[in-house]
Amino acid sequence: MKKKLRVGVFGAGLIAQLEHIPNLLKLSDLYELVGIADASATVRGFFQNKNLPVYESHQQLLSKAEPEVIFVCSPDCYHADMVIDALNAGCHVFTEKPICYTLEDVARIKVARDASGKHLQVGYMKRFDPSYQLLHDMLPTDGAKLRMVSVEVCDPDSWPFREHQGDLVFANDISQEMRSEFKARQSEQVAKALNAQPDENSFRGFTGAYCSSLVHDINVVHGLLQKMNVSTVGIEGATFFANGDGGQATVRLNTQTSLWQMMHLTVPKVAEYHERITLYFDDAVYHLEFPSPYLNHFPTRLTVWKSDGEHSQKTEHRANYKEAFVEEIKYLWETVVNNRPARNTLEDAEQDTRLLVAMGRSALANKISTI
Ligand SMILES: NC(=O)c1ccc[n+]([C@@H]2O[C@H](COP(=O)([O-])OP(=O)(O)OC[C@H]3O[C@@H](n4cnc5c(N)ncnc54)[C@H](O)[C@@H]3O)[C@@H](O)[C@H]2O)c1
């Protein structure tokens, strides 16, 4: 019989209800859900009605439910403290992205992880996307011919894409005191990351467009660049736009000839999802087109263009219908139980955080040259 890991969840809002809790329950031969901690009585009541054990705080869950693994699915600014508490309590940890906003918090987490000897996996499910893995296998180990990486994400958020999971319950009853604590905590962390107190639009651009959305694409591109031994050199330019609904950045790569441009924009009233990552080489173009992550078992399309003289060939690839959100937690089980090498590590997240912080600081400093 397989070892079942006792798992607890901190924060049971959108992503926990849409993905992690249903997936953990489906993988009942690998995981036993022993507790859900949420600050909202409404959310706790919803799970209690489904006969799942609930706790008012993550500390209560840690001390009473005897978990072996914790899923941190709370808002971003709680990640660092909750991850550290879980590691200190002797648990392996899966945490949603972004792991945190600052490199100082990455360092604090590293100390706790190393002292605990436990695994820490970050919720970058796209690295488990079969089409990402296919592209990763196809790319050369030398990126000398790479000319440009282009990332474009335009999306309305989750509302058009979550019908299949039925009604979700949101935390509409958080006390004023807790909401104030959340705001103060988030704004302190963002100010530390940016080394300045940002205006409202820049704050939204950094926490939303950059740290919530583009963090995924940054992680994907970092994974692909690593395969090709290409690294980032510096920020060419960065800005927030559309009242903070948009964020853009251009990054110089170390091949001398190549550039990485990225942008995210929320398009709130259009029920369409666009997330595209394109790699342009001088002799090939690779293009990933992601569906909304909430549409499960919807394959990402990988298209490759190559030419023989004037004869251009376009090839569409579909690896399989596996779901990245399921694959990442199956892999976590393999890491914990069978000692498979950790994936989506703190060190991966550190690289992403370093770039996000540099982009954010550059965006704040952005000066427009007049024409
Ligand atoms: N991997 C992905 O594609 C993906 C998608 C969406 C969200 N996320 C990430 O997941 C995390 C959660 O996002 P969400 O959209 O589910 O947020 P949400 O606001 O819908 O849910 C957060 C939940 O945490 C609870 N909570 C808040 N403070 C708490 C505390 N101190 N103790 C216990 N519970 C607390 C809230 O009551 C709420 O139910 C974020 O870090 C986000 O970036 C990842």
> Per residue in 41-73, pLDDT tens?
999 999 999 999 999 999 999 999 999 999 999
The pocket around ligand 1, CB under 6 angstroms, is made up of 10-16, 37-40, 43, 58, 73-76, 78, 96-97, 123, 125, 171, 174, 212, 293
39 with 91, same domain: the answer is: yes
At 195, the pLDDT band (50, 70, 90 cuts) reads very high
Taking the centre of ligand 1 as the mean of its atom positions, its distance from the CA of residue 13, in whole angstroms, is: 5
Nearest CA-CA partner of 287 in 150, 116, 137: 150
Return d(Cα 235, Cα 215) in angstroms, integer: 16
Q: Where are the beta strands (DSSP E) in 218-283?
A: 232-241, 246-253, 259-266, 274-281
Return d(Cα 87, Cα 185) in angstroms, integer: 21
Beta carbons of 322 and 132 less than 8 angstroms apart: no
- Number of domains the chain contains: 2
Most ligand 1 atoms within 8 A of CB, residue of 74, 162, 207 to mutate: 74
285 with 335, same domain: the answer is: no
141 with 262, same domain: the answer is: yes
275 with 311, same domain: the answer is: yes
160 with 44, same domain: the answer is: no
Kindly report the backbone phi and psi dihedral angles of residue 348, in degrees, each rounded to the nearest multiple of 5, phi listed first: -60, -45
53 with 154, same domain: the answer is: no
At 256, the pLDDT band (50, 70, 90 cuts) reads confident
Kindly report the pTM of this predicted structure: 0.97
* Domain CATH for 52: 3.40.50.720
Tell me: pLDDT of 367 over 80: no
In a domain, 371, yes or no: no
Average model confidence (pLDDT) for the chain? 97
243 with 96, same domain: the answer is: no
Task: Return the SS3 of 224.
Answer: helix
Q: Which two tokens stand for residue 78?
A: 């709680």
Nearest CA-CA partner of 215 in 76, 84, 316: 76
103 with 50, same domain: the answer is: yes
266, 271, 98, 133 alpha-carbon torsion, rounded to 10°: -120
Taking the centre of ligand 1 as the mean of its atom positions, its distance from the CA of residue 12, in whole angstroms, is: 7
pLDDT tens-digit map of 99-145? 999 999 999 999 999 999 999 999 999 999 999 999 999 999 999 99
What is the predicted pLDDT for the residue at 319?
93
Return d(Cα 24, Cα 237) in angstroms, integer: 41
Neighbours of 44 (CB within 10 A): 22
Ramachandran quadrant class, 339 (left: phi over 0; alpha: psi -120 to 50; beta: rest): left
156 with 282, same domain: the answer is: yes
13 with 148, same domain: the answer is: no
Helix H or strand E encompassing 352: helix 346-365
Beta carbons of 240 and 202 less than 8 angstroms apart: yes
Helix H or strand E encompassing 360: helix 346-365
* Domain CATH for 214: 3.30.360
59 with 119, same domain: the answer is: yes
Q: Residue 246 is part of which domain span?
A: 128-323+352-365
Q: Which two tokens stand for residue 10?
A: 């901190």
- Tell me the average pLDDT across 19-27: 98
